[in-house]
């Protein structure tokens, strides 16, 4: 089943990549100086000039799996800047935004919390080697590849109690699939 569903289709999920670094989330008792997320599902969905990339621990419903999400806010601009660092942060008019979603590492039901730990990238850079989006009319393949180093993620309401500093890479081919239907 495709984990992402927007009007423009989904990705088949296979690729390669790894994410590692430091993770601390006091709300659920996590203190992982050697945190590692080895994604097995890679997804991308483009809409309105943006591209959301999801690097997910396993396939399955997106709201139940640990993942890193990378959102390019202007795909054409990002394509023009292949190989150059793009600034990651909270600015809605910046280059890119990233999130760390901890659905498995910090499940709501077992931690007694009201919500899943979601950390937003507040500083860092991502570099793309290749970008594909269904909205781009480019004949140069459907590869999506990039890397990031020392991106700082925080819970903006309590940055000292929930944060991560992560580095990683990803490389996969876009494969249009049927949109997911999560109900009969």
Each residue's pLDDT tens digit in the chain (184 positions)?
333 333 333 445 679 999 999 999 988 888 999 999 999 999 998 888 899 999 998 777 667 789 999 999 999 999 999 999 999 999 988 999 999 999 888 876 544 545 567 899 999 999 999 998 877 666 667 899 999 999 999 998 889 999 999 999 999 998 765 555 444 4
Task: Find, among 89, 175, 171, 86, the residue nearest to 131 by Cα.
Answer: 171
Domain boundaries, the chain: 15-169
Flag whether the pTM goes above 0.95.
Answer: no
Strand partners, 44: 53
Q: Are 143 and 54 in contact (CB under 8 A)?
A: no
pLDDT of residue 86: 97
What per-residue string of b and e applies to 64-91 under the rule 16 or more CB within 10 Å gives b?
A: bbbbbbbbbbbbeebbeeeeeebebbee
Q: Are 133 and 75 in contact (CB under 8 A)?
A: yes
CA atoms within 13 Å, Cβ hemisphere of 51: 23
Q: What distance in Å separates the CA atoms of residue 178 and residue 135, rounded to the nearest whole number?
A: 17
The DSSP 8-state label assigned to residue 62 in this structure reads G
């Amino acid at each position: 089943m495709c984990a992402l569903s927007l009007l423009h289709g989904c990705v088949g999920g296979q690729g390669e990549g790894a994410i590692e670094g430091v993770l601390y989330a006091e709300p659920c008792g996590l203190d992982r100086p050697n945190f590692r997320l080895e994604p097995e599902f890679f997804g991308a969905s483009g809409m309105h000039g943006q591209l959301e990339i999801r690097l997910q621990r396993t396939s399955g419903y997106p709201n139940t799996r640990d993942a890193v999400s990378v959102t390019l806010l202007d795909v054409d601009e990002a394509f023009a800047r292949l190989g150059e660092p793009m600034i990651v942060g909270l600015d809605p008019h910046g280059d890119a935004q990233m999130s760390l979603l901890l659905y498995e590492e910090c499940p709501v039901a077992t931690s007694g919390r009201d919500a899943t730990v979601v950390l937003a990238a507040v500083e860092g850079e991502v570099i793309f080697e290749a970008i594909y989006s269904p909205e781009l009319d480019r004949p140069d393949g459907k590869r999506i590849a990039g890397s990031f180093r020392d991106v700082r993620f925080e819970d903006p309401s309590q940055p000292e109690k929930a944060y991560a500093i992560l580095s990683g890479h990803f490389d996969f081919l876009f494969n249009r699939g049927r949109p997911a239907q999560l109900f009969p």
